[in-house]
Amino acid sequence: MEAGGNVTAVARREEIARVLQTRGPVLRDEKGERTVRGHLEVFVEPPRQGAYDFILLATPPNGVEAAARDTAHLLAPEGAMVVLQNGLCEELVARVVGEDKVLGAIVAWGASSPETGVYERTSSGGFAVGALSGGQDARLSRLAGVLGAVSEVAFTENLRGARWSKLAINCAISTLGTVGGSRVGPLLLHRFVRRLAMEVFTEVFQVARAENVRLEKVASTVDLEWLTLKESEQHAWGSPSLVGRHAMLLAIGARYRRLRSSMLAAIERGREPPVDFLNGEVVQRGKAHGIPVPVNAHLLEAVHAMSRRELKPGVETLRHIYEQTRPRSQLQTGG
């Protein structure tokens, strides 16, 4: 909007639509707080007619297929659905509109909506855009021109690999933040939480390899494969290489210290957390390949239990999961 684009928004909740129509969206970022001015048309239901270059899918993952179905008739002949969700949602949207109508935009920054119509950016980072085919697509440059008003944009020819890397980050950071009931920075100060994160990365990496996916660096800097545990380290507490990994996770915690899990916010608002599209994907695909993923499985179960109000979030809940997933030899030696 600030860059002068013509923007149409579909806000399913009438309260959000009313605020956007009457006051406009309020944005909090490194430039401060302001009401964003520009051309904005707001609907509660998708309009019946239109021809849009890009439809930006910004729902939770569990609403992405319905959003794609409800707006598919609004795509211009050369238009594309842009998948912003975490998880592996490009595949879901492709089933609705066809692979040639899908582009992926991986978001490497965090934000939250603390109140209706107010949007707060909580960490820096850019976008990585690509197509499922992995080839060049002229629409990607146009998309970068749109998203570039928000943040820097990089191109990837390995969208699946980049998406799986982001999946690993979310399965660790977002889900640990949900179960721990806190922002990322304070949680990663705990050594055992960092160890859980490395074990999540390791399980996701093993499943991705079985899926013939080559992981990409996240935000061009974080090498997820380096953060995974080698076989000799999976039953060890300390080693020189582990010191470096712990230091990297501390740095990640410092960078994203204000990041708060959107799944935790969903649970607090009485909504279904989309954990099945994160850790649930790893558990399901791990089972299909015969790969055990106990840490992801325990975290998945914990988030569902929290959603049912059967479990309270907190560091001690994470500690309990840590203890449940230790090999007996580690427990006996205090590891």
- For 251-279, b where at least 16 C-beta lie within 10 A, e where not — what string? ebbebbbebbbbbbebbeeeeebbbbbbb
Q: Where is the domain boundary, 122, 157, 192?
A: 157
Same structural domain, 42 and 168: no
pLDDT of residue 224: 80
What CATH number should be reported for the domain holding residue 50?
A: 3.40.50.720
Same structural domain, 153 and 183: no
Distances (CA, A) of 51 to 3, 11, 76: 20, 19, 4
Q: Where is the domain boundary, 115, 138, 157?
A: 157
Same structural domain, 225 and 306: yes
Same structural domain, 131 and 185: no
Q: Could you write out the three-class secondary structure of 198-245?
A: HHHHHHHHHHHHHCCCCCCCECCCECHHHHCCCHHHCCCCCCHHHHHH
Q: What is the pLDDT along the chain (335 residues), one digit of tens a residue?
A: 988 988 999 998 999 999 999 999 999 998 899 999 999 999 999 999 999 999 999 999 999 999 999 999 999 999 999 999 999 999 999 999 999 999 999 998 888 888 999 999 988 889 999 999 887 889 999 999 999 999 999 999 999 999 999 999 899 989 999 999 988 889 999 999 999 999 999 999 999 999 999 998 765 567 788 888 887 676 665 566 788 889 989 988 887 777 778 888 889 888 889 999 999 999 999 999 999 999 999 999 999 999 999 999 999 999 999 999 987 545 443 34
Is 86 in contact with 166 (CB distance < 8 Å)? yes
- pTM for this model (two decimals): 0.86
Same structural domain, 179 and 150: no
Query: Does some domain include residue 2?
Result: no
Same structural domain, 119 and 177: no
Same structural domain, 22 and 147: yes
187: helix, coil or strand? helix
Widest pairwise Cα distance in the chain: 66
How would DSSP label each residue in 273-318?
Answer: PGGGGTHHHHHHHHHHHT---HHHHHHHHHHHHHHTTSS--SHHHH
Same structural domain, 142 and 178: no
Same structural domain, 304 and 225: yes
The helix (H) or strand (E) run that includes residue 59 is none
Which pair of tokens denotes residue 68? 């794609």
Beta bridge partners of 158: none
pLDDT of residue 164: 94
Same structural domain, 195 and 301: yes
What CATH number should be reported for the domain holding residue 188?
A: 1.10.1040.10
Distances (CA, A) of 27 to 11, 36, 112, 245, 297: 17, 7, 10, 35, 37
- Residues spanned by the domain of 191: 162-332
- What is the tally of structural domains in the chain? 2
Query: Does some domain include residue 136?
Result: yes
Q: How far is CA 198 from the centre of its chain?
A: 17
pLDDT of residue 329: 45
pLDDT of residue 332: 41
Query: Does some domain include residue 129?
Result: yes
Which pair of tokens denotes residue 59? 């729902």
Going by the DSSP 8-state scheme, the letter that residue 61 receives in this structure is G
Q: How far is CA 261 from the centre of its chain?
A: 9
